């Protein structure tokens, strides 16, 4: 079966006012049917605006939006949100407080008989595991349960595309982690495609099939979670997604020299200086009496230790190791990292 494109954006730009920077700047992408796409980036980078442009809650200055092969917005066409075949879930649930769970979920169902509505609501509540709570009001539910109702309400009309704006951000950590897993299963079981906004990198990597990393309105990189994590396209993506360490590096022949050692890294272009990216989990620590690297702190996080080291120049390096590597604070150590795990970002690759 050929996979078809459910969502495509071409050159979409949105500027809220003439004297402000574009909130969304020349974004193009496409999403295959059945996939979950995540927009990931810091607060204010344009994630919500981009989601609202897809949903028809905002209108772009330029660009084309197509859903399910149908243009819903371009220079001459405009299809309003209610005719875009989408479902929307917001961070604050936005349930109707005076309606029961059943009535909230039935709200968007049009052109169906009473019996069909009952069937659809009951099947959707089963999908989100709320069977038994049909007659409750929102205030009688926990945050996690309210968000399940909101999800059911968005899914009940069986939209082509589900849009979710930070749906887990208002929940406690425990509930958030559990619902994150279930939400992915529910969306997959419903057979719908989805666009999911979050500022939490772990959430994006865990929930989504494709992740688009945004900065200041730009889509910096789009790819599978594995691609984004292992081959970040820019310094920004590397820092935001992997929380890696960056150290100044200088080319010496075909090596890159840093204050913690030399690395054999290939780069496409040949800059003389740059920054080396070293992921926290890629380092091996060994006691070494005459090393200038000092362990300033060691924190036990259950599954791992998190170390903070100081280099001679005063820079901090964060490292995570298994709990079998227990080196005391104050000790001096050597760091080893496999050459193929580090990456170089030069000014050139940052711009490109
Ligand atoms: N309704 C609005 N009017 C004017 N500026 C807005 C509006 N909504 C968002 N912005 C601005 O657009 C930029 C992107 O915001 P937003 O899309 O909410 O980012 P995010 O969801 O990533 O935090 C920010 O600079 C924000 O201040
Ligand atoms: Mg937002």
d(CA 316, CA 301): 19
Q: Is the CB of 49 under 6 A from ligand 1?
A: yes
pLDDT digits (tens, 9 = 90+) for 176-206: 999 999 999 999 999 999 999 999 999 999 9
Residue owning the nearest CA to atom 7 of ligand 1: 16
Q: How many Cβ atoms sit within 10 Å of the Cβ of residue 33?
A: 16
Q: How far is the CA of 23 from the centre of ligand 1 (A)?
A: 6
Which conformational region is residue 191 in: left (phi greater than 0), alpha (psi within -120 to 50 degrees), or beta?
Answer: left
Q: Give the model's pLDDT for residue 347.
A: 62
Question: In which band, very low, low, confident or very high, does the pLDDT at 1 lie, cut at 50, 70 and 90?
Answer: low
Euclidean distance between CA atoms 230 and 238, whole angstroms: 9
Using DSSP's 3-state secondary structure scheme, residue 92 falls into coil
User: Looking up tokens 């009952």, which residue turns up?
Assistant: 118
23 CB near ligand 1 (under 6 Å):
yes
**Among all ligands shown, which has an atom nearest to the Cα of 90?**
2
**Could you give the CA distance from residue 264 to residue 136 in angstroms, rounded to a whole number?**
63
pLDDT score recorded for residue 48? 98
Instruction: Assess whether pLDDT exceeds 90 at residue 349.
Output: no
Read off the pLDDT band of 351 (50, 70, 90).
Answer: very low
- Mean pLDDT score of the chain, rounded to an integer? 93
Dist. CA 120–CA 221, nearest whole Å: 38
Report domain 245-345's class.
mainly beta
Determine the residue of 44, 59, 164, 218 to mutate for testing ligand 1's pocket, defined as the one with the most ligand atoms within 8 A of the Cβ atom.
Answer: 44
What percentage of the chain has pLDDT greater than the value 90? Answer: 88
Q: How many CB atoms lie within 10 A of CB 116?
A: 11
Whether pLDDT at 171 is above 50: yes
Nearest Cα to 198, choosing from 158, 175, 170? 170
pLDDT on residue 153:
97
**pLDDT band at residue 110, thresholds of 50, 70 and 90?**
confident
For the segment 208-262, what is each residue's pLDDT rounded down to a tens digit? 999 999 999 999 999 999 999 999 999 999 999 988 999 999 998 888 999 998 9
Q: What is the CATH number of domain 5-238?
A: 3.40.50.300
Distance 198 CA to ligand 2 centre (A): 8
pTM: 0.91
pLDDT of residue 350: 46
- Which residue has its alpha carbon closest to ligand 1 atom 26? 44
Q: Which residue has the tokens 């795990």?
A: 341
Could you report the per-residue pLDDT of 33-64, keeping only the tens digit for each?
Answer: 999 999 999 999 999 999 999 999 999 999 99
Q: Judge if the beta carbon of residue 45 lies within 6 A of ligand 1.
A: yes
* DSSP 3-state of 343: strand
Q: How many A from CA of 49 to the centre of ligand 1?
A: 6
What is the model's pLDDT at position 325? 86
Q: Is residue 44 lining ligand 1, measured as CB closer than 6 Å?
A: yes
Asked if pLDDT for residue 276 goes beyond 70, the answer is yes
The CB density around residue 337, as the number of other CB atoms within 10 Å, is 18
| Closest to 310 (Cα-Cα) out of 284, 289, 337, 332 | 332
Q: How many angstroms separate the Cα of 275 from the Cα of each of 21, 229, 245? A: 29, 17, 9
Domain boundaries, the chain: 5-238, 245-345
In our burial notation (b when 16+ CB lie closer than 10 A, e otherwise), range 306-327 reads ebebebeeeeebbbbbeeebeb
Q: How far is the CA of 279 from the centre of ligand 1 (A)?
A: 31
Residue having the nearest C-alpha atom to atom 20 of ligand 1: 44
Find the 333 Cα to ligand 2 centroid distance in Å: 42
Q: How confident is the model at residue 3 (pLDDT cuts 50, 70, 90)?
A: confident
Fill in the DSSP letter of residue 81: G
Alpha-carbon Rg for the chain, nearest whole angstrom, is: 24
CB 195 within 8 Å of CB 162: yes
**Tens-place pLDDT, residues 284-323:** 999 999 899 999 999 999 999 999 999 999 999 999 999 9
| Run of H or E including 145 | helix 143-155
256-260 long-range contacts, CB within 8 A, separation 24+ = 256/344, 259/311, 259/312, 259/313, 259/315, 260/293, 260/311, 260/317, 260/335
Q: Which residue, by CA, sits nearest to atom 24 of ligand 1?
A: 44
Longest dimension (CA), the chain: 80
């Amino acid at each position: 079966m050929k996979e078809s494109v459910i969502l495509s954006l071409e050159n979409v730009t949105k500027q809220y006012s003439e004297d402000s920077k574009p909130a969304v700047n020349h974004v193009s992408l496409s999403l295959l049917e059945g996939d979950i796409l995540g927009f990931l980036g810091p607060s204010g980078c344009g994630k919500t605006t981009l989601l609202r442009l897809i949903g028809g809650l905002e209108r772009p200055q330029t660009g084309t939006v197509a859903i399910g092969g149908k243009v819903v917005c371009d220079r001459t066409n405009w299809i309003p949100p209610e005719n875009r075949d989408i479902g929307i879930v917001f961070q604050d649930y936005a349930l109707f407080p005076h309606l029961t769970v059943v009535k909230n979920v039935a709200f968007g169902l049009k052109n169906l008989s009473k019996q069909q509505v009952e069937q659809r609501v009951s099947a959707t509540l089963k999908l989100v595991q709320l069977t038994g709570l049909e007659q409750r009001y929102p205030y009688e539910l926990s945050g996690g349960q309210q968000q399940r109702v909101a999800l059911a309400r968005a899914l009940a009309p069986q939209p082509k595309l589900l849009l979710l704006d930070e749906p887990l951000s208002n929940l406690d950590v425990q509930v958030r982690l559990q619902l994150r897993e279930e939400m992915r299963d529910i969306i997959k079981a419903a057979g719908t495609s989805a666009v999911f906004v979050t500022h939490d990198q772990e959430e994006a990597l865990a929930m989504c099939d494709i992740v688009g990393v945004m900065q200041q309105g730009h889509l910096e990189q789009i790819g599978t979670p594995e691609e984004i994590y292992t081959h970040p396209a820019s310094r920004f993506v590397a820092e935001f997604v992997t929380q890696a360490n960056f150290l100044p590096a200088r080319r010496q022949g075909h090596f890159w020299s840093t204050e913690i050692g030399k690395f054999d890294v290939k780069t496409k272009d040949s800059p003389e200086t740059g920054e080396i990216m070293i992921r926290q989990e890629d380092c091996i620590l060994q006691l070494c009496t005459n090393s200038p690297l000092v362990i300033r702190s060691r924190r036990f996080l259950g599954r791992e230790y998190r170390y903070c080291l100081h280099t001679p120049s005063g820079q901090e390096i964060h490292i995570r190791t298994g709990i079998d590597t227990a080196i005391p604070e104050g000790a001096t150590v050597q760091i080893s990292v496999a050459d193929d795990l580090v990456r170089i970002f030069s000014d050139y690759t940052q711009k490109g």
